[in-house]
Structures are given as structure tokens and as C-alpha cells.
Amino acid sequence: MKKEISIIGVPMDLGQTRRGVDMGPSAIRYAGLSERLENIGYTVRDEGDIKVEIQERAQSDSDTNLKNLQDVAEGNEKLSQKVDEVIQANRFPLVLGGDHSIAIGTLAGLAKSTENLGVIWYDAHGDLNTAETSPSGNIHGMSLAVSLGLGHPALTNIGGYSPKVKPENIVIIGARSLDQGEKELIREKGIKVYTMHEIDRMGMTKVMEESIAYLKERTNLVHLSLDLDGLDPDDAPGVGTPVMGGISYRESHLAMEMLAEANIITSAEFVEINPILDEHNKTAEVAVALIGSLLGEKLLYGAEEHITPDLLAQVK
């Protein structure tokens, strides 16, 4: 079986209020994503972009503090359907954001195929807020909570079911900016989190070894949701919510390489690239390099057997 990847762009910037992140998919494509993947042996199909309504300014829902609720929900419903379509075609979904609210639709599309979807949330933030705990009303800070079944029904019921993921099937890596409500939810649900303290103290190798072993024990498929603000702003400056003291470029490559060697990732998304805030498309180029490592690119060898027929068959 050929190793087949479907690229899905989601030019969504409605999950937050800083404009520009809707150009992220174009920036990643411009940085040579398809060519890079083809060079390491993949067959790449670019599915184009999910149509997202353009708003002049953030619209707050009249009954909640959630911004652009209806448009975010509609965009994610379309994404959910597209991801499910790609899964049913036995292809690897590679989703390009857009802000991190698009993870709502990605996970909704993926979880239709398994009751034990695993999620690696590579991010400076937990994205575990709800309308009651969010200080901003920005839905990109709620996407993981929504996927746990917590939040507005217009979001939690995308795909026609809820929840999409179990708390014990999540690993957050790189957290260093958590709101109080998120901290309480993490403790309440027992979500596994490696903050920057653990990464600094244990080293990325140990963090990834533990994360891989943990998810292998309890999940069937594993999705990587990588927010570029998980990296330090020196390495990835083009993000809307940068947080100092993040994961380094080299540590991130190591993490991706270890995931490739473990052969557990069955889908991925890369989000929150804002070309307006970037330096000569640096952050998009970082994303493309990390995607290459995730999918098996090595200094001396190609992807080899990263996405095997057996792994793809698990999706069906």
C-alpha cells in the first residue's frame, strides 16, 4: 500500500481575536510542505481549504461570552465531515490551521472511528477553558474541554456525539500558561500533563518515552495536535499567543522523531501560525520541518516504514 496523506487547510481565525492566523495554511503550503513529503516517499493529496465565513470583527453570542460561536461551530462541522471522509478513504489526515479551535472538528472526525482515541496536545496552553472559566471568551482556548464534552452544546455535539476523547487518553506536553479553571479541571479529570518544569527536569527523551508508553497501553489511534506556540518564541515567532520559556526547535524535532520511530501517530494537525507576526515565514518553515520529522524524515534516510499498511488499516 502506498503511504497516502491528505492535506486539509482550515483558514479559521474566529476562535480568537487576533487577525492573520487564517493565512496559516497558505504559509505552510508556501514553505514547501507537499514537496517535502513527496521527497520522503509519500503520495500527497491536497484537499484544499474548508470554507470558513469571514467576520469583520469578533461577534459575541448573545447568551454566552463565546466569540463567533455559530461560525466556529459551522466551520468545525465541515472539518469533522472532511476528516471522517479522509479516514474512511484510508488516508492520513494532516490538518493545517488556523487557530486551535479547529481541533474541535478534527477530533470529532477522528473519534468516529474509535472509542479510544489518544491525543498528544503539544501546546503552551491547556485549551481546557469553558464559557464559565474563560477570561476572554475565545473558543481556541476551549477546544480540548469541548472534546471532553464540556462546553456549549453547539460545540460539544459537533459530529452528532459527545465526548470525543477520554481524559485518561490525553497527554499535554509543553504547558506553561494555564488558567485557574484549567488547573482545577486537570486535577479533577486526572489529565496527564508535562509542563516545561518536567521537560527541563526530565529531558524530552524521557517525556516522550513515558508519553508513548502511556498512550500505547490504552488507545487505538493517536492524534498529534501541535500548536506552534508550544515552541519558544525565539524559534517560532509567528504565533498569536507567544509564551516565553518554551520547547526548543531541537527538542521538538527530537519529539517528532521519537513519535515517528514509535509508529503510533495516525493523524496530525499544526495550528496557530500567524504570518503577519512572523519573520520571513520562519514559523511556517519550522512547522514543515517538524512535519517532516514526524513522518519519518531523517538526515540520512527517508520515511521508510513510518505509515505501514497495518497502521492505516487500524483506521478503518
What confidence tens digit (pLDDT) does each residue in 59-118 have? Answer: 666 677 899 999 999 999 999 999 999 999 999 999 999 999 999 999 999 999 999 999
Catalytic site includes residue 127: yes
Considering 100, 223, 253, 306, which one is annotated as catalytic? Answer: 100
Q: How many CB atoms lie within 10 A of CB 11?
A: 22
| pLDDT value at 313 more than 50 | yes
Tell me what pLDDT residue 301 has.
55
Considering 13, 74, 123, 278, which one is annotated as catalytic? Answer: 123
H/E element holding 109? helix 103-110
Specify the pTM: 0.93
Tell me what pLDDT residue 197 has.
98
If we measure between CA atoms, which residue out of 38, 50, 63, 41 comes closest to residue 14? 50
Strand ranges in the chain using DSSP code E only, listed in sequence order:
4-10, 43-49, 92-97, 117-122, 170-175, 192-195, 221-227, 265-271
Q: How many domains does the chain divide into?
A: 1
| pLDDT value at 316 more than 90 | no
Considering 22, 71, 227, 269, which one is annotated as catalytic? Answer: 227
Q: Which residues are annotated as a binding site for Mn(2+)?
A: 100, 123, 125, 127, 227, 229
pLDDT greater at residue 307 or residue 252: 252
Return the C-alpha cell found at 62.
448573545
Q: Which residues are annotated as a binding site?
A: 100, 123, 125, 127, 227, 229
Lay out the sheet containing 221-227: strands in order across: 43-49, 4-10, 92-97, 265-271, 221-227, 117-122, 170-175, 192-195
Angular region, 160: left φ>0, alpha ψ -120 to 50, beta rest: left
Determine which of 42-56, 120-134, 231-245 has the lowest per-residue pLDDT on average: 42-56
Instruction: Report the CATH number at residue 148.
Output: 3.40.800.10
Q: At how many degrees (to 10) do helices 249-262 and 282-294 cross?
A: 30
DSSP secondary-structure letter at 1? -
| pLDDT value at 306 more than 60 | no
Residue found under cell 501546546: 123
| pLDDT value at 294 more than 50 | yes
Catalytic site includes residue 272: yes
Tell me what pLDDT residue 57 has.
64
Considering 49, 229, 232, 257, which one is annotated as catalytic? Answer: 229
Considering 127, 257, 285, 297, which one is annotated as catalytic? Answer: 127
**SS in 3 state form for 169-226?**
HEEEEEECECCHHHHHHHHHHCCEEEEHHHHHHHCHHHHHHHHHHHHHHHCCEEEEEE
Catalytic site includes residue 152: no
Angle at 208 between CA 205 and CA 210, to 5 degrees: 105
- Structural domain for 120, as ranges: 4-313
Considering 22, 232, 272, 297, which one is annotated as catalytic? Answer: 272
Catalytic site includes residue 140: yes
Dihedral sign computed on CA atoms, order 47, 100, 266, 228 = positive
Tell me what pLDDT residue 315 has.
46
Q: Burial code of 117-131, b = ≥16 C-beta within 10 A, e = fewer?
A: bbbbbbbbbbbbbbb
Catalytic site includes residue 235: no
